[in-house]
Amino acid sequence: MAAGHRAQWKGFLKFGQVSCGIALYTAASTSERITFNTINKASGNRVNRIFIDSETEDPVPKEKQTKGFEIDNGQYIIIDPEEVAATIPESNKTLEIEAFIPCSEVDDVYFDKPYYLTPDKAGGDAFVALREAMKKSEVVAIARAVLFRRVRAVLIRPHGKGLIATTMNYDYEVRSSTKAFEEMPKLKIEGEMLDLAKHIIATKKGEFNPATFDDRYEAALAELVKAKMEGRSLPKPKKVEVSNPNNLLAALRESAGLLKAGAAESKPKRTAANANQGAGRQRATRATASKASAARSPAHRKAS
């Protein structure tokens, strides 16, 4: 892993009677996003957070704060931080694979956070053997380990020269899709309406490339901060033209007609997704954000 990347967790990956040293590195981060502080409008100073008693409204210092579980309206069981710490299971630093399953059996609604999983210096052979065997068998692995003070289920899958380990949501954490869709109307779409929808899909087919998706909200924030620092008027949002078709069929016909008319125009060539392209996306984000921070004085930093 490149310099500047620090392993979030180090331990061992075990499958059967084979084990190898591994490290987990964060695969996704929000550290590049623009953040704001809360400011006192009158003084321009940063506002500090103070905890107060909900009844007496007196400030409560950190050393007098503890944890509590509400059992009734306004009634709590007091739980000391030492008691919470005692419930954390001991870690043997082993990510043990429990089963290999077909890739198609995994519902990504259970995905939580991805990590790049790399071999330690002494475990390269076993690591590569596992990676190649999983590729050939077209399977992913379900493992379990104590990660970040919790027992977590982890999905491991081959990715390029390494593996990706994704922490999983537990079943009780995932809401029922049946409940979410229970009020969906029972409609049957067929004939011209279905053909037009399929035509639009066929015309718009492409390949997923994360580098083509720019964070327009972050870019707008950077431009807003830059405009404020330079004393320019704030950028005005573009007016959105909202179509108001009489019915769905008319909208589908209109969409299909527009796509057909533009079919002769050249399309930008898309390439398949690759996690390594994230570096280019990060550079673009940093370049946008740097416009806002380049001219920032110490006084501006304080009131950022």
Whether the CB-CB separation of 229 and 293 falls below 8 Å is answered with no
Report how far residue 224's alpha carbon sits from residue 232's, in angstroms, rounded to the nearest whole number.
9
Least confident residue range of 8-17, 26-35, 133-142, 283-292: 283-292
Q: Tell whether the model's pLDDT for residue 127 goes beyond 70.
A: yes
pLDDT classification of 12: cutoffs 50, 70, 90: very high
Q: Tell whether the model's pLDDT for residue 234 goes beyond 80.
A: no
Q: Kindly state the tokens that stand for 197.
A: 């929808």
Query: Among 147, 117, 104, which residue's Cα sits nearest to residue 22?
Result: 117
Whether the CB-CB separation of 117 and 163 falls below 8 Å is answered with yes
- Percentage of residues of the chain with pLDDT beyond 90: 33
Query: Among 245, 263, 271, 243, which residue's Cα sits nearest to residue 199?
Result: 263
Q: Which one is predicted more confidently, 95 or 223?
A: 95
What integer pLDDT is reported at residue 74 of this predicted model? Answer: 80
> Would you call 186 helix, strand, or coil by DSSP?
coil
Q: Tell whether the model's pLDDT for residue 79 goes beyond 80.
A: yes
pLDDT digits 0-9 by tens, 273-295 = 455 554 444 444 444 445 444 44
SS3 of 52-87: ECCCCCCECCHHHCCEEEEEECCEEEEECHHHHHHC
pLDDT digits 0-9 by tens, 237-275 = 777 665 555 567 777 777 777 666 655 554 544 444 455
How does DSSP assign 175-226, residue by residue? PPHHHHTTT-------HHHHHHHHHHHHHT-----GGG---HHHHHHHHHHH
Q: Tell whether the model's pLDDT for residue 36 goes beyond 80.
A: yes
pLDDT digits 0-9 by tens, 38-53 = 999 999 999 999 999 9
Euclidean distance between the first and the last CA atom of the chain, given in angstroms as a whole number: 33
Residues paired with 26 in a beta bridge: 115
